Each structure stands twice: as C-alpha cells, then as structure tokens.
Homo-oligomer: A and B are copies of this chain.
Amino acid sequence: MAGGAPRRQPTLDEVAELAGVSRSVASRVLNNAPHVSRAKREAVERAVRQLGYVRNPTARALATRQTGAAALVVAGEEPSIYADPFFAQVIVGASAALEEADLHLMLCLAASDRGRKRVEELLRSKGADGVMLMALREDDPLARMAEEAEMPVVFGGRPVGSAPRWYVDVDNVGGAREATEHLLSRGRTRVAAICGRLDTEVGRARYRGYRDAVLAAGLDPYPPQEGDFTESGGAAAMAASLAEHPEVDGVFAANDNMGAGALRTLREAGRLVPDDVAVVGFDDLVVAQVADPPLTTVHQPINAFGREMARMLVALINGQEPTPLILPTRLVIRSSS
C-alpha cells in the first residue's frame, strides 16, 4: 500500500530470462530439485535476489493441487468456549506444528449458520489440504461432512457417541476419575459433580470419570448438576446442588471456571473450603491459581493437544497412517481440597 511504482511482482519467467535459463530450470532451483548444474543454480539464485522474486503461492497451489494451508474448525456456538484460554492454547500448539510443516493455519469459527456454510464449502472445494475439527456438538452434521470430504480430517476431542478414524483427545475420564478419587481419599464421602454441558463428549466423559470413581468406592454418585462451563454457570450449579443436597462435602467441577464459580457460591453460603467442602476443578488455567483458595485441578496438556492434532494432520497429508492419540492428565493439588 506504499506509494511507488505499481509494478507487478516479477514472475518465474522473468527470473528465468534474467538468469538465461528456461522456466523449468528456474522452477527446479526454487523447489530444490535435482538435475540442475551448479552454474545455472547460482545464476537463478542471483536473479531471484536481484528481482526480489517471491513465488506466487496461488499459482503454485493451482498447479500442485495443494493449498499449503490447513484449517482449524471450531464448531462451538456458545461464545464461552472462545473466552476460555483453552481455545487460544490449542491454536498456539497447532500453529507451531503446522509451521514446522510449512503449512498456513486457516481458522474457521463455525458458530453461525453462515460460518458453517463456509466450512462446508471449504470441505467440498478442497480449499485446504486438511482439516482439524474441534468442539463438535451432538449429531453435528459437520462430522459427517468431514468424513465424506475427500480430505484428511483430524478430530480434536471425539464427537459424542462415535470414534472417528483419526483424533486426538485428552483422557477426560481418567482425569475426572483421578480428581474424584483424590476427594474420596481425603475422606470425603458425599462428593457431588458439577458437569459441563452433557451434549458434549467432554461433559459426558468427565461425569463418567467421576461416576466410576464414586461407584468404585462403593458410594452413590450424585446426578449430574449441569453447568455451562462458565464461572457464573458453576456458581449457579453449586447453589442448586447445595439446595438439593446440603450434606455435600466435596465437589468435582468439570472445569476451572465452574470450580471458581463454585468457590464463590460456597463462600457466600458461609461454607469453608476445604474444611466444609473440598473442591476440585479441571483444566489448570490461570483461574485456578488466582481463585481463593487456589483450586486443586486436573492439568491437561492443552498446547500438546493442538500440536498433536496438527502433527497427525500433517502425517495424514503426507500419506501416512497415524493412530489416534489420548493425552494424559495430571492432578495438581492446591489448597481447595
């Protein structure tokens, strides 16, 4: 947008001409292909420098039928998922891995109808070399479309009720189980669960883990108290839980935001944490650290989640056959339990 001559970008032909070689040779040099004499290679490199030549990625894409980009589709509709640092960290991880493979990252937030339509078009038009799909809802049509698209697709987290061919997930069940076992090992016997949305696999899996642990201890699990993964949702769920089950002495919250909300409600209700009620969260975000008291939580490797998703996609694009991956979690004990 600077002033100056509106000169066109130099093309490969011009580079070739200046270097006194054919376009083919110039192309080989740029692609680091063999069958080029040292002299001509250097001549081309000189011409490239002299003209300030940069290869036109679009033309290259058309000729090679590869776009050089991978898409990360986030299908969640509720804004809260984006407010969450989780989302950002995944992006960072994926971005780093794609960078290694020299792929660009296209980010598609398929919240609105229009957004979803664009994703569909992307899938069908092969507008990217591959797709990572996250935060799918139950029966999300995007899942089927992705499977049908003749394009590498990696799922981030499993869609509800189905295990796709390629996915990366966090061990939600195991993490929730460990968190709950931790509460039980602290002598708590009346542990309730504040769940995330139960129409997501994450929400279900974490409740399942909680349930498993409680059952294994020979106790009765509480029914899921559904929150929406937000701080206020957690606070409300905690209030409801307290009203119905005042005897509660432990709470497993399916994420840190809700855990923080639970802490707030407990404080307002005059219950001491962890003396009266112990609380455990999930995610290990900043929120957990700054909460009062600092929240015991389940750490998950969010950055690795994004990174591995991207690596799997790259492998797929390169014609390999990676295997699904489930990342481990780790309990981080703080003062809330």
Binding site for B on A (CB under 8 A): 1-2, 6, 9, 52, 54-59, 61-62, 67, 69, 79, 82-85, 87-89, 91-92, 95-96, 99, 102, 104-109, 112, 114-115, 118, 121-122, 124-127, 147-153, 165, 231, 257, 260-261, 263-264, 286-287, 289-292, 316
Contact = CB atoms under 8 A, between A and B. Distances in A.
Given A2-B148, A84-B88, A105-B107, 18 more contacts: A1-B150, A1-B153, A1-B165, A2-B147, A57-B127, A61-B61, A85-B85, A88-B88, A91-B107, A96-B109, A99-B109, A99-B112, A99-B114, A106-B106, A231-B286, A257-B286, A260-B286, A287-B287
A204 to B, nearest CB: 24
Contacts of A112: 96, 99
Specify the main secondary structure of chain A where it touches its partner: helix
A102 B118 CA distance: 8
A230 to B, nearest CB: 8
How many copies the complex holds: the figure is 2
A58 B54 contact: no
Nearest to A257: B286
B108 A105 contact: yes
Nearest to A291: B290
Contacts of A289: 231
A120 to B, nearest CB: 9
Contacts of A264: 290
A91 B106 CA distance: 12
Given A105-B108, A107-B105, A289-B231, A115 B91 contact: no
B55 A125 contact: yes
Which of A83, A108, A149, A260 neighbours the largest number of chain B CB atoms within 10 Å of its CB?
A83
A104 B231 CA distance: 32
A31 to B, nearest CB: 15
